[in-house]
Amino acid sequence: MSQSKHSSGQHDSSHAHAHAHTHAHAHGAPVAPVDVHAHWYPQPWLDLVAQHGAEHGVEWRELPGQGPQFRVGHVVTGPTGPRYVDLDTRLQAMDQQGVAVHALSLSQPMLYWAGRELGLRLACVFNDQLAAAHEAHPQRLIGLATLPMQAPDLALREVERAARLPGVRGFYMATRVLDRELSDPAFFPVYEAIEALRLPIFLHPVFVIDHHRLSAHYLTNLLGNPFESAIAAAHLIFGGVLDRFPKLDIVLPHAGGAFPWLAGRLHRGWEKRGDLQHIERGPLEYLRRFHYDTIGYSDAVVDHLVRHIGADRVLMGSDYCFPIACEQPVNDVLANPFLSDGDRQSIIENNARLLLRL
């Protein structure tokens, strides 16, 4: 990276901190907000998809003035305009929001569709670009590395490589890998390695259940994504993953989706069905094994998480920069009337800094 880009990153860092302090002064302590749910498509990653995606069923087209749009199965992503790709555009948006740090992550369609060889290449390109972004803007950008989970042996190799890259502070996975749930024992060596590194796993839906019923009214996102998170959480609990890896941190997106609201129903099933009692504790007791972002689009949703799970398990997120993203994630937390100043400080900054070891 050039010196000019590096210098720009340092300047932008100071700018963002000034904005963050301005936003927070009205509520007491100044903060340096961390957005843990911020998607990014590096141009070299897009180029590799454009070059080889068609061989694996990716439909790709350029929309004039808007950039590429691609489809994998029922998942349509894009058009990926400058906000998704260009870091300078992103930094300007962060300044306007008062956000100091983005934890960059790949979003739909991720890369499980790409098979072994291309999947590994896509993961390596993305993770290397995360490191380059961090080196260019070390105070502003960190990375959540992606893994070719469709090939667990290659994913394990990439865990070990990516963890050594500058700025990588966690890993990003889908709520299921093609047709395999996250409780599949084939993934256990990957979890073991990540747990040993003391790095978190952030989850995000890609393909959702019964998408044909959800194709209208944007329901694939509005309903499909939150229920995918609940399904993944249930498999991690009943599949024994959380018991087997007691120090593994997992972050559920979209305020946990439907999981926090259905944990009592899952718990009731555990109480009444002998076939679910292979786990010693009921699902309600696993609520605090997860972390949750603030993307619930409701003060009451965040209040529910804080009151019933704990403010220390909630992290600020925006879903940058998708159409229904939270446009002012810092203000959303600061203006929430249900939260104490201590809760706000924890959610906006402290929890993420502890979890991501910043």
Predicted confidence pLDDT, tens digits, the chain (358 residues): 333 333 333 334 444 444 444 444 444 444 899 999 999 999 999 999 999 999 999 998 888 888 888 898 888 887 878 889 999 999 999 999 999 999 999 998 999 999 999 999 999 999 999 999 999 999 999 999 999 999 999 999 999 999 999 999 999 999 999 999 999 999 999 999 999 999 999 999 998 888 889 889 988 888 989 999 999 999 999 999 999 999 999 999 999 999 999 999 999 999 999 999 999 899 999 999 999 999 999 999 999 999 999 999 999 999 998 889 999 999 999 999 999 999 999 999 999 999 999 9
Domain ranges within the chain, ordered by starting residue? 3-355
User: Among candidates 60, 92, 56, 95, which has minimal Cα distance to 76?
Assistant: 60
Residue 182 in contact with residue 176, Cβ under 8 Å? Answer: yes
Cross-strand partners of 180: 177
Sign of the CA dihedral with 331 first, then 142, 38, and 343 last: negative
**Spatial distance between the Cα atoms of 103 and 249, rounded to a whole number of angstroms:** 16
Cβ partners under 8 Å of residue 19, min gap 6: 95, 96, 97, 98
pTM of the entire structure? Answer: 0.90
Q: What are phi and psi of 253, to 5 degrees?
A: -80, 170
Evaluate the omega torsion of the peptide bond into residue 326 and state whether it is cis, within 30 degrees of 0. no
Q: List CB contacts of 261: < 8 A, sequence separation 6 or more.
A: none
Element (H, E) at 322: none
Q: Given CA atoms 32, 194, 295, 60 in this order, what sign does their dihedral have?
A: positive
- Name residues whose C-beta falls within 8 Å of residue 93's C-beta, 6 or more positions apart in sequence: 83, 320, 321
Contact 69, 112 (CB under 8 A): no
Q: Which fold has domain 3-355?
A: TIM Barrel (3.20.20)
- Chain centroid to CA 198: 17
